[in-house]
Structure 1
């Protein structure tokens, strides 16, 4: 898309790690206090996506996916810069991420959200049909 105000990228080298860490560790309720080392390790072990201001090149949104690329994916750390919320950036990010995930023909893509249900519902996400079958193992692992 030419002259569009924002562009999408799935290139790991395009991600602004400093900005991503600042957003998540300072503003995201699920990642507050996350260390830079931990965030960099998460980025390195994931598929990363970003939206960028076409004029300045500045990153304005981020998402990452943890996946085996065959059967399962976990969409996480979705964040849109508050300065551009309401301008379609989150929708554009999700359109592009979901298109790439659709190409993998995965059986299941999960996410956890405390607030953006309406956005994700536009892309086919629904509450778990049988949540009683799902379990989670959480551990008190010190962040480094």
Structure 2
């Protein structure tokens, strides 16, 4: 599925993921800076991936680990630094949260730094669990 807004596009096709760009984004994060390329590849292969693009350039990424029956774990939500504060992380997360494949499932998101953003999207209620990483 593709979603478009103000010159940006979210694509949930795994084949659209620009591995080199996602690796660079994750290496710059506090939670995945030491994740190996092999682990990044494996996580992409076993997840539903959402890539955020401006034109042909990937500027954001997130993935969902799910059984499609009861739970969806939203992971690795990240936006290129120069595109932050534009509402793109919120749009990416809302797109994921409202996806019909797990809209009514238990959704879990773990973060150490963006509680306010995710609480505004509804995390913290009975269908969306927000947690701090351990």
Secondary structure at 1:79 match in 2: strand
Normalised to the residue count of structure 1, the TM-score between the two structures is: 0.79
Residue 89 of structure 1: how far off its partner (Å): 1.0
Residue 37 (structure 1) shift? 0.7
**What residue number does 2:109 align with?**
111
By relative contact order (CA 8 Å, sep 6+), the higher-ranking structure is 1
Residue deviations 1:25-83, cap 9 Å, x none? Answer: 2x1111111111110000000000011003xx101110001000110111111101001
Question: How many angstroms apart in 1 are the aligned matches of 2:31 and 2:45?
Answer: 19
Greater strand proportion: 2
Contact preservation (8 Å) 1:71, 1:107: yes
- Asked if 1:90 corresponds to 2:89, the answer is yes
**Gaps spanning 5+ residues in structure 1: where?**
129-137, 139-144
Offset, 1:87: 1.2
Alpha carbons of structure 1 residues 127 and 114: separation in structure 2 relative to 1, 3 Å: farther
Q: Take 2:73 and 2:5, find their aligned partners in 1: how far apart are those partners?
A: 32
Gaps of 5+ in 2: 127-133
Q: Give the Å deviation of 1:2.
A: 6.6
Larger-Rg structure? 1
Structure 1 outlier segments of 4+, above 4 Å: none
More helix by share: 1
Aligned residues: CA RMSD: 2.3
Displacement of 1:117: 0.8
How many residue pairs end up in the alignment? Answer: 126
